[in-house]
Amino acid sequence: MSNRKQALLKAHRRAKRLTLLVVAVLLVVAGAVLGLWTVPVLAVLVWIAHEAWFADHLFYRPSDDYHYALDAPGSARQPVRTTPQVRLEQPLAEGETLVLEVTLKAGWLGRLIDPSVRVGDDRQTFERGVAGRRYLNLSGQRAALEAGTLTVRPRFCRVSAEGVLHVQRNPDYAQRRVMVLAPHADDAELAAFGLYSRARDACIVTLTQGEIEADAYRALGLDAAGAARLKGRLRTWDSLAIPLWGGVPAERCVQLGYYCLRLSAMAEAPGSPFGSLESGESDIRSARQANALALPGDADGLPTWDNLVADLKALLQHFQPEVVVMPHPELDPHADHQATTRALQQAIDEGDWAPDVALLYANHLHDNDRWPMGEAGTGVALPPVIETPVSDAPWSPVLDAQTQLDKAMALRMQHDLQGRPPLKKRLRRAIQWLLAGRRWPVTGEDEFFRKAVRRHELLWVRRLDK
């Protein structure tokens, strides 16, 4: 955790303790003045207010600017007027990924209800109390931009009258040989279902069984280890079978069978095996039985970093991808996700095949656990980057309504995204629906159905040099 985030977390906890102290004092005073019966009533009202308006986890201030360096090769920029239409001052440069840099300032209602900006037929949502530089995703709206009919209509916030339009030019990576690296079953679908479902030549490699946090399966009469083994088997099946919904056959999907939250430890001791934290297993071959090709790790079945890198080198040589899709090492903080990218880079450095380009994704985020904010089906604005600017060029393909529905159904098949949220989360959602205007999709109750099924997928382009 960065020093800045530690300071913000400390300040947040200090403010929370102070707020609780003030609330406790006010409750005591109210009880003394109005009667003791008011104490539980007011306590419930305070709790409801917290759940409606103060339960989000932001490790930055809504007034912080986002920082992007959108000047990669093939990019262009120009100043524009933003309201009520986006007015260009010069012809629009060639490129399919369009990003509008503006400054937003929330109104007083924008501190209680999520502020948003409607851009043409899309809507993108931001933090309550937003007051800083933000980046709207205009990808898919080039025709309206060129025609001068693209409108910008803020809700519960103000948009600066001037902005900067960034244009990124990329080839259609779906027309190249694509390998998607998924630390766990569902990561490929969350990040890149739209991409791989239309790719000319795609393969999917899942690194872990996804066996931990299996308490729900103990209701079947299993002990903790048995529940973890069952969950690992189910998610292994998910990683091989669900991509077929997106047109990728099982013989082009590979499950490597390593264990959740063990990849970082493996990297620090490359020759040592690291078995499952919960299932009691330590032989990765139990999850590889349906693989269509033999791999180096099959020889001894040991869950070691050396075997993982050897497996990835063999897969690169076999599939010879031109494009590899993997977690963003700076934006995605999940330990398994960071280790996945590290392992792939080592396999490229040591192996005989190197992809040309990495498309990087962030299924998790350091600073904001609600990003992308807003409702399912709406656009994906660029995520918060507060400290070190991101210099990778964005690539944001547009998903039509049918592809969004197919992506939602692919997620619905994932065992780890099934089941009801805890009662506390369901109560919070009901309160936020009633008081804060938030909405969740009917396709599924897991938060990823809201966050991942969107108008855009967002990937960052990085050249890979061996």
**What would the pLDDT profile of 1-48 be if each residue is shown by its tens digit?**
445 556 666 776 677 777 777 777 777 777 777 777 777 878 888 889
Span 437-448, pLDDT tens digits = 999 999 999 999
Q: What amino acid occupies position 423?
A: L
User: What CATH number is associated with residue 249?
Assistant: 3.40.50.10320
The residue from 47, 63, 78 where one domain ends is: 47
Query: Does the pLDDT at position 142 exceed 80?
Result: yes
Q: Within a domain: residue 345?
A: yes
Q: What amino acid occupies position 402?
A: Q
Report d(CA 182, CA 236) in Å as an integer.
Answer: 12
Q: Within a domain: residue 426?
A: no
Q: Within a domain: residue 353?
A: yes
State which residues form the domain around 31: 3-47
CA of 280: how far to CAs of 224, 225, 331, 410, in Å?
10, 6, 32, 30
Q: How many domains does the chain have?
A: 2
Torsion sign over Cα 289, 327, 137, 80: negative
72, two tokens? 């990669």
- Contact yes or no for 441/376 (Cβ under 8 A): yes
Dihedral class, residue 272 (left if φ above 0, else alpha if ψ from -120 to 50, else beta):
beta
Q: Tokens 């990728």 map to which residue?
A: 248
The residue from 349, 364, 379 where one domain ends is: 364
Q: Within a domain: residue 453?
A: no
Q: For 456, list phi and psi in degrees, rounded to 5.
A: -120, 150
Average confidence (pLDDT) over 311-328: 98
Strands (E), 82-156: 87-88, 97-106, 116-119, 122-125, 131-137, 152-155
Q: Within a domain: residue 36?
A: yes
Q: Within a domain: residue 17?
A: yes
Q: Within a domain: residue 121?
A: no
Q: Within a domain: residue 372?
A: no
Query: Does the pLDDT at position 396 exceed 90?
Result: yes
pLDDT value, residue 1: 43
Give percent of the chain above pLDDT 70. Answer: 97
| Helix (H) / strand (E) containing 253 | strand 253-258
Q: Are residues 207 and 352 in the same domain?
A: yes
Neighbours of 425 (CB within 10 A): 14
Average confidence (pLDDT) over 251-256: 98
